């Protein structure tokens, strides 16, 4: 479920003209003002950027203690939660709660546990309501030959999906990023299609797992933050693809590139060119497909930029000026 690609879903995108100008930025939550959300022991507080979360969204977690903290871990439905310390604030931690875009709506418990420097056990708990995401749905009738890959192509796509799952399952324990994340294209403020559902010839497909940014072939694609290249190769659906590992279970995905300019294992700085925009794989025109996976949850990448940036540099809500294809 975690791969950026899905044979059942992406095969339905073959050669389709996306006629929809697409509603965008549907998932942006209220401004990231942390509210008291949990109950804690040892004089600690737990705050979340919003009391509830839509499918495909992220919440910022803030933990504050009256005493220096030695270690802190988070648990959300059996998966660890990325938690880190910024600068020298030993009494504070930040974290990210990631809600997969297909997570069943309901109430879930976030648990944070740790230890203060003097050995006192600290634990926090918060109930988080997951709500259905507001994704657009598009119904299309297309010729069968355009939506059904051959058995060999399906086999290849399934192998690649498993390879991506294995990558996203690995959690690099160090935080490799520092500071704000950025959109991978210069001069672009927003994208479209995240979470969009398609119904083709009456059959519901898998949701679209990333953001699409239409751009000219050859436009430089830049690393959203510091990270290590986890994958740099051609995939059946996503074409030339790069996956960056940012540490703590956070991965960014760049698809349909015309060329790849890095190789697996490379360490990249924020803004480093990793490839060029293209139309490789199953697409209708040149664009960048940008995805974000946090502890296997597929989330809206623009939300990470919003949550980790200062209030003055929030993501602008703006409609794209031209149609988007994918």
Q: Which residues bind Zn ion (CB under 5 A)?
A: 212, 289, 326
Q: How far is the CB of 198 from Zn ion (least distance, A)?
A: 11
Choice between 17 and 30, CB closer to Zn ion = 17
Which residues 6+ apart lie within 8 Å of 143 measured at CB?
none
Choice between 12 and 226, CB closer to Zn ion = 12
Choice between 12 and 289, CB closer to Zn ion = 289
Choice between 247 and 275, CB closer to Zn ion = 275
Q: How far is the CB of 265 from Zn ion (least distance, A)?
A: 26
Instruction: For residue 291, give the nearest of 62, 30, 10, 34 by alpha carbon.
Output: 10
**Which residue, judged by CB position, is nearest to Zn ion in the bound state?**
289
Could you tell me if 124 and 40 are in contact, meaning their C-beta atoms sit under 8 angstroms apart?
yes
Q: How far is the CB of 119 from Zn ion (least distance, A)?
A: 49
Q: How far is the CB of 113 from Zn ion (least distance, A)?
A: 38
Choice between 72 and 215, CB closer to Zn ion = 215
CA distances in angstroms from 171 to 33, 56, 79, 131, 297, listed in the order given: 28, 20, 11, 27, 13
Q: How far is the CB of 117 from Zn ion (least distance, A)?
A: 46
Choice between 177 and 237, CB closer to Zn ion = 237
Q: How far is the CB of 323 from Zn ion (least distance, A)?
A: 14
Helix (H), strand (E) at residue 94: strand 92-98
Helix, coil or strand: residue 92: strand
Could you tell me if 86 and 92 are in contact, meaning their C-beta atoms sit under 8 angstroms apart?
yes
Could you tell me if 268 and 254 are in contact, meaning their C-beta atoms sit under 8 angstroms apart?
no
Helix, coil or strand: residue 229: strand
| H-assigned helices in 94-242 | 151-169
Instruction: For residue 207, give the nearest of 100, 97, 302, 96 by alpha carbon.
Output: 100
């Amino acid at each position: 479920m975690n791969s950026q690609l899905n044979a059942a879903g992406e095969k339905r995108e073959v050669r389709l003209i996306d006629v929809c100008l697409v509603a965008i930025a549907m998932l942006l939550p209220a401004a990231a003002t942390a509210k008291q959300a949990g109950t804690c022991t040892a004089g600690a507080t737990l705050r979340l950027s919003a009391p509830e979360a839509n499918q495909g969204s992220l919440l910022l977690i803030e933990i504050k203690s009256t005493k220096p903290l030695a270690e802190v871990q988070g648990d959300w439905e059996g998966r660890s939660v990325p938690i880190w310390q910024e600068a020298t604030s030993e009494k504070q931690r930040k974290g990210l709660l990631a809600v997969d875009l297909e997570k069943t709506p309901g109430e879930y418990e976030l648990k944070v546990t740790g230890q203060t420097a003097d050995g006192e056990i600290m634990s926090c708990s918060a109930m988080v309501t997951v709500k259905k995401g507001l994704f657009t749905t598009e119904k299309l009738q297309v010729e069968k030959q355009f939506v059904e890959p051959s058995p060999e192509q399906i086999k290849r796509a399934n192998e690649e999906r498993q390879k991506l799952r294995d990558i996203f399952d690995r959690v690099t324990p160090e935080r490799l990023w520092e500071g704000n994340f950025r959109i991978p294209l210069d001069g672009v403020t927003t994208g479209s299609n995240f979470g969009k559902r398609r119904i083709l010839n009456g059959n519901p497909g898998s949701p679209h797992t990333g953001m699409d940014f239409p751009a000219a072939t050859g436009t430089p694609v830049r690393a959203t933050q510091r990270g290590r290249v986890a994958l740099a190769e051609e995939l059946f659906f996503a074409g030339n693809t790069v996956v960056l590992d940012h540490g703590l279970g956070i991965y960014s995905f760049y698809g349909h590139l015309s060329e790849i300019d890095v190789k697996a294992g490379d360490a990249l700085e924020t803004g480093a060119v990793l490839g060029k925009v293209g139309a490789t794989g199953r697409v209708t025109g040149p664009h960048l497909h940008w995805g974000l996976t946090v502890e296997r949850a597929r989330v809206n990448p623009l939300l990470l930029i919003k949550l980790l940036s200062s209030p003055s540099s929030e993501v602008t809500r703006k409609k794209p000026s031209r149609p988007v294809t994918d």
